[in-house]
Structure 1
Amino acid sequence: MAATERDRIGVEDYLAGERDGEVRHEYIAGEVYAMTGASRRHGLIVNAVAFALTPSVRERGCQLFTSDMKVHVHHAGDDAFYYPDIVLTCEADDEEDYYLKHPCLIVEVLSESTERIDRREKLLAYTAGLPSLREYLLVAQDRRQVDLYRRTETDWVHDTHTQGSLRLDCLELDLSLEDIYEDVEI
């Protein structure tokens, strides 16, 4: 059943609730959705990717966040706030305390319960509503597979990687699948 207008909450109320609350929620057009916890494998992959990116992030004066930083997407008149597994901004004016508006890279580690949302809803929201986004990375945790969506001058291009490395233009870095999956057995 769809929420009525009076059931919806405003952006400011949502942000205040997230600052004071113990449970994280994503926000989509006035509706909030509680976040679930992550598996051990999920956490190890997130840490491995963040560890591999950190030297380049620091070298370029960017900022990298894992799990607890929201991304604000405004598209087609609606606001959404998502919690990506990893988000990177290199914009000096991306200075909100609790969310980013100008990420250049977003990474989601797929799970059975989130894969459909990450591949459809978030892909559409991020690619349509974040002009600063250059790359969106989807990392499988049950097999060695990374899907990279990259913005070109005219469109988005999708590549699937199952071995070797992939180029992250946002950081001018080659990220190997060995580094991504170093701490987990597949």
Structure 2
Amino acid sequence: MGMPLHKMTMAEFLAWEEEQPERHEFYRGETYAMVGGTLRHNRVILNLASRIGDHLDGTPCQVFAENVKAELSEGFLYPDVMVTCGKAEAGDEQTITDPKLVIEVLSPSTRGYDKRDKFILYRTLPSLREYVLIDTTKRQVEVFTLAEAGAWLLTDQTGTGELVLGSIDLKLSMALVFKGVESGAA
């Protein structure tokens, strides 16, 4: 996440951002320019979105990637991949208010933000059931699942060979998650 720009309301932000060539996140009046991603980052996002989309076909759930905002009570974030359920067809909405699953593919510049601050913000969404962090360089996969009494349970799925997303009842081989992505240094 970059440095904050000028203060504005949520409505002002939505109108302003429509005019911008870049994406921005917004929280409590502060606007932050989004940084660009790498080919490795984008490949994993596309792998996940396409396979999750195929899995959800015929259900009331939809998958969105990168360019759709999740709406919080005091802001907007851009998840790399998110799933929402309850509406089988997309319209002209600019935001999703009820993501069930959010996946963030980590970048060196946003790793700490995605792991701490962004997760804290996403947890304010009553609909969220699962939060996934994927480090493409280390091929590390952490899945946080909402459990009883509001506790979030971490499952490190790095060495399992399979990404298990209980919120949408999907098992996906890690080979498919990382298909077309070199291992090692970025």
Shift of 1:165: 1.2
> Does residue 45 of structure 2 align to residue 49 of structure 1?
no
The gaps in structure 1 that reach 5 residues or longer are none
What secondary structure does 2:53 align onto?
A: helix
**1: CA distance, partners of 2:50 / 2:12:** 34
**1: CA distance, partners of 2:48 / 2:97:** 22
Q: Which residue of 2 aligns with 1:70?
A: 69
Q: Does 113-122 or 56-65 show the bigger shift? A: 56-65
Identical-pair percentage? 34
8 A Cα contact 1:45 1:109, kept in partner: yes
8 A Cα contact 1:14 1:27, kept in partner: yes
What secondary structure does 2:148 align onto?
A: coil
The gaps in structure 2 that reach 5 residues or longer are none
Shift of 1:170: 2.1
Structure 1 segments (4+ residues) deviating >2 Å: 91-96
What secondary structure does 1:105 align onto?
A: strand
8 A Cα contact 2:79 2:102, kept in partner: yes
Q: How does 1:2-17 map to 2 (within 5 A)?
A: 8-17=7-16
8 A Cα contact 2:62 2:87, kept in partner: no
Q: Which residue of 1 aligns with 2:105?
A: 109
What secondary structure does 1:149 align onto?
A: strand
Alignment RMSD? 1.8
Q: Which residue of 2 aligns with 1:172?
A: 169
**2: CA distance, partners of 1:147 / 1:91:** 26
TM-score by structure 2 length? 0.89
TM-score by structure 1 length? 0.89
